[in-house]
Amino acid sequence: MSYDNYFLSYRGKPLTVEAVERVLRIAGQRARVRDSIRCSPHTCRHYFAQTQLRNGLDIYSLSRLLGHETVDITKRYLQSIKDEKIIEMSISTSTLMNLI
């Protein structure tokens, strides 16, 4: 039987949610990620979203990438980015600040 999934087990079958969680947890252990940081699909998704925002991606585009119904859900990712970083990001992308 053939599957359309991106990730398959060593037996060629689709990975279960539990298997993906286990793979990420083991990868975190092997990479010696601190125990205080949870290595999970949700953590990876959250990190991706925050990184995209820090790199200047607009919230609407990020919302589409994440498959959210509205940007209200995506706004939660902004809450954990410190105000100083948001100000720094807005200055670097501001038309007025970059006239020269």
Q: What does each C-alpha distance from 58 to 62, 63, 65, 93, 100 come to in angstroms?
A: 6, 9, 11, 11, 23
Give the tens place of pLDDT for each residue, 74-91. Answer: 887 777 776 666 656 666
Q: Looking at the structure, tell me whether residues 3 and 46 fall in a common domain.
A: no
Q: Looking at the structure, tell me whether residues 49 and 31 fall in a common domain.
A: no
Going by pLDDT thresholds of 50, 70 and 90, the confidence category of residue 18 is very high
The count of domains in the chain is: 2
Q: Looking at the structure, tell me whether residues 29 and 55 fall in a common domain.
A: no
Q: Looking at the structure, tell me whether residues 25 and 70 fall in a common domain.
A: no
What secondary structure letter does DSSP report for 6?
Answer: S
Q: Looking at the structure, tell me whether residues 10 and 48 fall in a common domain.
A: no
Q: Looking at the structure, tell me whether residues 46 and 32 fall in a common domain.
A: no
How far is it, in rounded angstroms, from Cα 25 to Cα 19?
10
Q: Looking at the structure, tell me whether residues 46 and 74 fall in a common domain.
A: yes
Q: Which domain holds residue 81?
A: 40-98
Q: What angle do CA 34, 36, 37 make, to 5 degrees?
A: 75
| pTM more than 0.75 | no
How far is it, in rounded angstroms, from Cα 59 to Cα 63?
6
Name the nearest CA neighbour of 41 among 59, 15, 61: 15
Residue 59 scores a pLDDT above 90: no
- End-to-end C-alpha distance for the chain, whole angstroms: 61
